[in-house]
């Protein structure tokens, strides 16, 4: 096939390109088997927790808020936060930078194309265009972001305001992650001080995702069911589309709350907590009318740091349930395994 975006040497086609071509149907490689297709009409009867983070700074309210966070972590591994300290203009600027980046010509974006998951900056589509059996309706740019001075020179230099706008947001989310970790470790009865340095020196990978309107949203997904590998993911979204699985494996749609940020527990928290908390399984659905952008800030402890269950949470009734792993182990796993087939966390669970 000819046309902008079809690159014959590696068959790379972005979904932005398909959208520009106004394809009336999704190409066959995006069509999921019927059992994996989404239910786009889930009811919103379940109210998902929304937590006012300003209450954490008030001694009289802190313990009640920690109880709410603990409940959300136990039941869902997910909550939304408001009054999180990141100003709305910073949020809008980050989304604007993302919009402008994906609107660039394909040629411009291709300079950052990579299918190597170990690269600190890479543009791509689906999960990994080079190896995916089924493709997902997503384009992305991912970049390491902390400490920002180590990485920002590798970020997109177009649009010209990208580094500034995304950088301001990245720095603010890094601060928020630390506050959230302090709260969550407290709910587990763990000492934040013991991990503070590793949290401060941890890895921050920002995944900026673009899900253009899709001609057949009932046949495909923007991302398949998965959990994130790290401690926490802080997700900013421009509209609805995220679904998560509750502890009965029932899918719930996450309502869109302007200015709120979504917090998702990742595999490192599940392991650290020795299974008291579970990482949340989530997927992304599409819309026939609207493009959706999201900025997922995936935090983890330093790339080579092996994380195992906290000794304080292990006893005779609660034996060690997971093997240790580092972010690097996860990257090695996804370079040779399809996470749509088998979750990473299942590969490190100890058999009982």
Task: Report helix, strand or coil for 58.
Answer: coil
Least separation, in Å, of the C-beta of 17 and ligand OGA?
19
Structure tokens at 334: 């996804």
- Residue 228 contacts Ni ion per CB under 5 A: yes
Binding partner at 294 among Ni ion, ligand OGA, none, C-beta below 5 to 8 Å by kind: ligand OGA
Q: Which residue is nearest to ligand OGA (CB)?
A: 294
Least separation, in Å, of the C-beta of 298 and ligand OGA?
7
Task: Report helix, strand or coil for 78.
Answer: strand
- Residue 128 contacts ligand OGA per CB under 6 A: no
Span near Ni ion by CB under 5 A; candidates 57-65, 166-174, 190-198, 221-229: 221-229
Strands (E), the chain: 50-52, 78-82, 121-125, 139-144, 203-211, 223-226, 232-237, 242-245, 251-253, 261-265, 282-284, 292-300
293 close to 95: Cβ distance less than 8 angstroms: yes
Tell me which DSSP letter residue 197 carries: H
Span near ligand OGA by CB under 6 A; candidates 95-103, 187-195, 235-243, 266-274: 235-243
Among 26, 98, 214, 223, binds ligand OGA (CB under 6 A): 223
Mark 181-220 with x for binding to Ni ion (rule: CB under 5 A) and - for no binding.
----------------------------------------
Burial of 7 (0-12, 13-18, 19+ CB in 10 A): middle
Binding partner at 234 among Ni ion, ligand OGA, none, C-beta below 5 to 8 Å by kind: none
Tell me which DSSP letter residue 256 carries: P
- Residue 296 contacts ligand OGA per CB under 6 A: yes
Binding partner at 270 among Ni ion, ligand OGA, none, C-beta below 5 to 8 Å by kind: none
Q: With CB under 6 A as the rule, give the number of residues binding ligand OGA.
A: 11
Report which secondary-structure segment, H or E, holds 196: helix 192-200
219 close to 33: Cβ distance less than 8 angstroms: no
Task: Report helix, strand or coil for 289.
Answer: coil
Nearer to ligand OGA, 209 or 279 (CB): 209
Least separation, in Å, of the C-beta of 163 and ligand OGA?
21
Rounded CA-CA distance 57/12 in Å is: 48
Least separation, in Å, of the C-beta of 298 and Ni ion?
7
Within 10 Å of residue 76's Cβ, how many Cβ atoms? 21
Nearer to ligand OGA, 142 or 165 (CB): 142
Binding site for ligand OGA (CB under 6 A): 207, 209, 223, 228, 235, 237, 242, 282, 284, 294, 296
Contacts to Ni ion by CB under 5 A: 228
């Amino acid at each position: 096939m000819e046309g902008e975006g079809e690159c014959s040497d590696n068959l790379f086609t972005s979904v932005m390109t398909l959208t520009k071509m106004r394809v009336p149907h999704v190409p066959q490689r995006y069509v999921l088997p019927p059992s994996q297709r989404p239910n786009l009409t889930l009811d919103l009867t379940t109210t998902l927790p929304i937590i006012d983070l300003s209450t954490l700074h008030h001694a009289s309210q802190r313990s009640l808020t920690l109880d709410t966070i603990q409940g959300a972590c136990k039941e869902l591994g997910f909550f939304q936060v408001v009054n999180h300290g990141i100003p709305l203009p910073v949020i809008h600027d980050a989304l604007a930078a993302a919009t402008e980046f994906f609107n660039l010509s394909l040629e411009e974006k291709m300079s950052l194309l990579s299918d190597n998951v170990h690269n600190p900056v890479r543009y791509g589509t689906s999960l990994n265009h080079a190896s995916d059996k089924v493709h997902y309706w997503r384009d992305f740019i991912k970049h390491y972001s902390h400490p920002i001075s180590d990485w920002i020179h590798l970020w997109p230099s177009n649009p010209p305001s990208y580094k500034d706008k995304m950088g301001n947001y990245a720095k603010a989310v890094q601060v928020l992650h630390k506050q959230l970790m302090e709260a969550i470790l407290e709910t587990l009865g763990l000492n934040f001080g013991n991990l503070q340095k590793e949290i401060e020196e941890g890895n921050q990978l920002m995944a900026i995702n673009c899900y253009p309107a899709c001609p057949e949203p009932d046949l495909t997904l923007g991302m398949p069911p998965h959990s994130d590998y790290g401690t926490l993911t802080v997700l900013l979204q421009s509209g609805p589309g995220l679904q998560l699985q509750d502890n009965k494996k029932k899918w719930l749609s996450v309502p869109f709350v302007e200015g709120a940020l979504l917090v998702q527990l990742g595999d490192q928290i599940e392991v650290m907590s020795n299974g008291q908390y579970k990482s949340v399984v989530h997927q992304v659905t599409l819309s026939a009318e609207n493009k959706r952008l999201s900025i997922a800030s995936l935090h983890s402890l330093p790339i080579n740091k092996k994380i195992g269950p906290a000794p304080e949470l292990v006893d005779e009734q609660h034996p060690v349930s997971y093997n240790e792993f580092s972010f690097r182990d996860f990257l090695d796993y996804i370079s040779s395994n399809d996470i749509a087939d088998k979750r990473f966390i299942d590969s490190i669970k100890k058999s009982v």
